[in-house]
Amino acid sequence: MQAETKTTIDRISGTNGSPIAVLRFTGDISSASKESVIGAWQTVNKGGPVLLDFSKVDYINSSGIALIIQMLIEADKTGQKVAAFGLTPHFQKVFAMVGISKYAGLYQDEKTAASSL
């Protein structure tokens, strides 16, 4: 059974003191996650840097990957910087294979990801 997707929004300070929005996902990400994922994205999509935290995500299906790609295409159109962290090795490989790594850096932890923005 699929775990409901929940997204929380945090704000942290980057290495230069500028604000960074952090979307923290929990549960599974699928087509049923659209409201949670895209809704949170639209809240923070103001042009500033964004981190995507997948450390509490167990499963992402192809529809979920499509939602993530949708966010990243919107970010790319405006030059917004995005980095992701907390992905399992399997999903790091999947993200690289589908080209997500062209739009967002993939990092092991929040500190490394934040320092890349």
Bridge partner residues of 9 (DSSP): 23
Asked whether 25 and 37 are in contact (CB, 8 A), the reply is: yes
**Residue 44, pLDDT score:** 87
Structural domain boundaries in the chain: 6-115
The CATH H-level superfamily of 6-115 is STAS domain (3.30.750.24)
Answering whether pTM is above 0.95, one says no
**Per-residue pLDDT tens over the stretch 44-57:** 867 789 999 999 99
Q: Which two tokens stand for residue 28?
A: 């599974």
CA dihedral 78, 42, 16, 25 (to 10 degrees): -130
| pLDDT for res 34 | 93
Q: What average pLDDT is seen over the chain?
A: 92
